[in-house]
Amino acid sequence: MTTHDILNYLPYSPPFLFVDGLDYIDCDKVVGHFTYHADMDFYKGHFKGFPVTPGVVLTETMAQIGLVCLGIYLKGVVPEGSGMAFGLTSTEIEFMHPVFPGEKVTVTSEKQFFRFGKLKCKVSMRNAAGREVCAGMIAGMVMAKPLQSE
């Protein structure tokens, strides 16, 4: 499975897609990136005059890259007409530095375990300067959706 395939299987689309690309993936680790464009809607109301990326959006970015992309890779190719379903089960994230509009971040996720459809990962997000802006643990369920009947 290629990184292009993984991105095509993502169950998100703009404006809720927070993955621009994957830089590396194997059975134990994924590295991907995203740029928070200044015109994203949530910046309009998150701190007037001093927009900062909300922590929930940073967490979602880490989940999409670090949990969903890795989960798709681990599950492999799914049958035509079906897809992947994901459910976030827990997060424990610490926020160290703000992420501003226009910043590119890189997420690194290392698998802690994957059994019975549950994936738990240690995640870290760094800005373009290499500074860790948030990190922690994230877990979720990865399942194949049933085949869709016509």
CB burial readout 59-92, b (16+ within 10 A) else e: bbbbbbbbbbbbbbbbbeeeeeeebbebeeeebe
Q: For residues 136 and 7, what is the distance between their CA atoms, to the nearest angstrom?
A: 23
Q: For residues 109 and 124, what is the distance between their CA atoms, to the nearest angstrom?
A: 7
Q: For residues 121 and 91, what is the distance between their CA atoms, to the nearest angstrom?
A: 10
Compute the residue count for the chain.
Answer: 150
Q: How many CB atoms lie within 10 A of CB 8?
A: 9
Q: Which of 4, 33, 37, 46 is catalytic?
A: 46
Annotated active-site residue 46? The verdict is: yes
Q: Active-site residues: which are they?
A: 46
